[in-house]
A and B are shown apart, each in its own frame.
Chain A
Amino acid sequence: MLTINKLNFSYGDMQVLWNIDLAVHEGEIVTVVGANGSGKSTTLKNISRLVAPQSGNIDFQGENINSLESHQVVERGLVQVPEGRKIFPEMTVLENLRMGSFIKSARPTREANVERVFTMFPRLKERQKQLGGTMSGGEQQMLAIARGLMTNPKLLLLDEPSLGLSPLFVKIIFEIIQEINKQGVTILLVEQNVFQSLKISDRAYVLETGRIVLSGTGSELLSNDHVKKAFLGM
C-alpha cells in the first residue's frame, strides 16, 4: 500500500534521514519506534509532503506521491494525525470535526462520520460546542484522531498519539487504534511508547539517528535483545 524507497532528507546541512526503506501493507498496523530525534516525525512529514524529500521514492497505492502537494496526498486517502494534536484552537469540537471532511470526497459522508466518531468518542459528543483549545490533552488527542477519521482515510499516520497523556488515556488511545484498524483502516504509527505499540503491531521498524536498524513483527521485536536494552530497560 505504502512503499518508501531509499528516502533521504536534510534540514539545511544536517541530514536526518538516511536511505529509509519502509513498507505498509493493506490492513496492517505498522509501527516505527525510536528515541527522540531519531527521525520518526520527519519520516511522516515527508510522507504527508509537509517537507520535500531530498531523494528516494514514496509510493502510495502504486502512485508516486513525491511531486504531490500535501492536500493532494490527503485526497488520496493518506492522512496524518500530527504530533501535538494541532487542534484548531478557536473552533469548536464540531467545527474541528467538520474541517476533517473538507475534501470533496469526504463531504457526502460528513454527517454519518460525525455520528460515527461520536459513538467512538462519547466525550466528544458531550463537548461538541466547546472550543478545541480549551480541552485537555487527552480529549484533544481523541479529537485529533476523530478529525483524521472524518477524511475517510485508507492509511492513517499517527504521530506520537500517546505523548503526554495519563495512563488511562494511553490505554484508551491504543484500544481506539486497534478498533480503527479492525474497521478497515491501515495504520502507520510512530511512538515512543515502545512496549504498548509493539504489542498491537503486525510489524515494526526501529529507527536510530535517521537509519532503520531493525525490523520484524511486533512480537519478534518485543523479544529482541537490542530493543529490550535500548527501549524497554530490560
Chain B
Amino acid sequence: MTFSVLLQSIISGMLVGGVYALIGIGLTIIFGVMRVINFAHGDIMMVGMYLTFFLFTLLGIDPFVSVLITMPLMFLFGALMQKVFINRVLSALPQNQILLTIGLGLIMSNSAMLAFTSDYKILTTSYSSSSYSLGGISISQPLLISFLITCAITVGLYWFLMRTDTGQAIRATAQDREAAQLMGINVKWMSILSFGIGSAMAGTAGALIAPTYYIFPQVGSAFTLKAFVITVLGGMGSIIGATLGGIIIGLVESVSAVTISSEWKDVVVFAIFLLVLLIKPSGLMGKSRL
C-alpha cells in the first residue's frame, strides 16, 4: 500500500465523518435536552433519504439543493413526533422511553417498506461518480459537497446555540431543566424545538448521503447504532464531542478498510470505541453539556 492510498483513505474518511458528525450532533442535542436516547434516529435519517430520492426523481431537484426543503420538513416531522409522542414520556422510566423510540422507528421503516418495497434504490446524479484530482489524490465530488454543507450547518447550529436567546434557552434546559423553568423558559417548547433540530440534522444527513448510498427501508438501523457509538465516544450531550466522534469513526472505517479489509472495519471501530470507554468512560469530551 502506498502513502497516497493511505492519504486518499484519510481524506475520504474525513469527508464521510463529517456526515456522521451531523447524525451524531442530532442525537446528542436530543439526548442533552431531553435525556432521551432516540432509537428512531437512523429511521428519521431514512425518511430524509427517501424524501431526497423522490424530490429528485419526481421533481428533478438536485439532492444538495433539496436540503433546503428536506431540512425544514424534517424539522417539522421531528417537532410533531416530540409534541405528540415523546413529550408524554419525558418523566417516564428510561426503558419506556427506549421502547417508544424503537417502536416509532419500526413504524417508520415498515411504513417505508409497505409504501416503497424493500428494493434498494439508487440516486444517480450527473456528478455521482465524478471526482476532483489533487496531486494524485481523487476527492469524490458528492462527498466533498456534502462535507462542505455539513460544515456550514454545524457552524450555523453552533452559532444558534451560543449566540441567540432561543439557543441559549435550549442549552439552559439541557443544563438544568428545573432552573430553566424558573427563569420562565417553556421547557416543553424547547424540547419540541430540540427534537425538531435533531431530526432536521438526521434528515439532512440522509439527504447528503443519498447520492452515495443505497436507499432502502432498513438503512436506518445501522445508522442508529453508528450515531449511538459516535455520541457515546464523544461524550453524551456534547456537540463538539459528537463532531469529533463522527470524524473519528469516519476515519477509522475508511483507513481500516484499506489497511486491513473492509469486512474488518466495524471490528476496528468497535475495538477503538471500547478502548476509549475503558480509558475515559464518560467519552472524549467528558460530561460537558450543550
Say yes or no: is B186 at the interface (Cβ < 8 Å to chain A): yes
A129: min CB distance to chain B, Å: 14
Provide the bound-state CA to CA distance between A160 and B171, in Å: 26
Q: B186 — which chain A residues lie within 8 A by C-beta?
A: 69, 71
In A100-158, which residues have CB < 8 Å from any B CB?
100, 102-103, 106-107, 147, 151
A215: min CB distance to chain B, Å: 26
* Residue pair A79, B182 in contact (C-beta under 8 Å): yes
Provide the bound-state CA to CA distance between A82 and B181, in Å: 11
* Residue pair A91, B172 in contact (C-beta under 8 Å): yes
Most chain B C-beta atoms within 10 Å of own C-beta, residue among A79, A88, A100, A103: A88
Contact of B182 among A80, A89, A90, A95 (CB under 8 A): A80
A150: min CB distance to chain B, Å: 8
Indicate whether A88 sits within 8 Å of B169 (C-beta atoms), given known contacts A80-B182, A103-B184, A151-B184: no
- Interface SS majority for chain B: helix
B186: min CB distance to chain A, Å: 5
Interface residues contributed by chain B, number (CB under 8 Å): 21
A164: min CB distance to chain B, Å: 17
* Residue pair B179, A88 in contact (C-beta under 8 Å): yes
Indicate whether A89 sits within 8 Å of B175 (C-beta atoms), given known contacts A98-B168, A99-B168, A102-B165: yes
Most chain B C-beta atoms within 10 Å of own C-beta, residue among A75, A86, A95: A86
Nearest residue in B to A49 (C-beta to C-beta)? B181
Indicate whether A87 sits within 8 Å of B168 (C-beta atoms), given known contacts A74-B184, A102-B184, A151-B184: no
Beta-carbon contacts of B150-187 to A below 8 Å, as 1s and 0s? 00000000000000010011011001101111111111
In B174-214, which residues have CB < 8 Å from any A CB?
175-176, 178-188
* Residue pair B184, A71 in contact (C-beta under 8 Å): yes
Indicate whether A71 sits within 8 Å of B175 (C-beta atoms), given known contacts A90-B289, A98-B168: no
Q: A48 — which chain B residues lie within 8 A by C-beta?
A: 181-182
Q: B138 — which chain A residues lie within 8 A by C-beta?
A: none
* Residue pair A82, B179 in contact (C-beta under 8 Å): yes
Indicate whether A82 sits within 8 Å of B172 (C-beta atoms), given known contacts A69-B186, A71-B185: no
* Residue pair A91, B171 in contact (C-beta under 8 Å): yes
**Chain A interface residue number, banded:** 20 to 34
Most chain A C-beta atoms within 10 Å of own C-beta, residue among B176, B181, B182, B183: B182
* Residue pair A86, B176 in contact (C-beta under 8 Å): yes
B167: min CB distance to chain A, Å: 11
Contact of B171 among A90, A100, A107 (CB under 8 A): A90
* Residue pair A102, B289 in contact (C-beta under 8 Å): no
Q: B14 — which chain A residues lie within 8 A by C-beta?
A: none
* Residue pair B175, A91 in contact (C-beta under 8 Å): yes
Q: A88 — which chain B residues lie within 8 A by C-beta?
A: 171-172, 175-176, 179-180
B120: min CB distance to chain A, Å: 43
Q: Which B residues are closer than 8 A to A by beta carbons?
A: 165, 168-169, 171-172, 175-176, 178-188, 288-290
What are 6 A-B contacts with C-beta separation under 8 Å?
Answer: A50-B178, A69-B186, A71-B181, A79-B182, A90-B289, A91-B172
New contact pairs (17) apart from A75-B184, A87-B179, CB-CB < 8 Å: A48-B182, A69-B188, A70-B181, A70-B182, A71-B181, A74-B184, A79-B182, A82-B182, A90-B175, A90-B289, A91-B168, A91-B175, A98-B168, A99-B168, A99-B172, A147-B183, A151-B183
A-B residue pairs, 7 tightest by C-beta: A74-B184, A86-B179, A103-B184, A70-B181, A88-B175, A71-B186, A71-B184
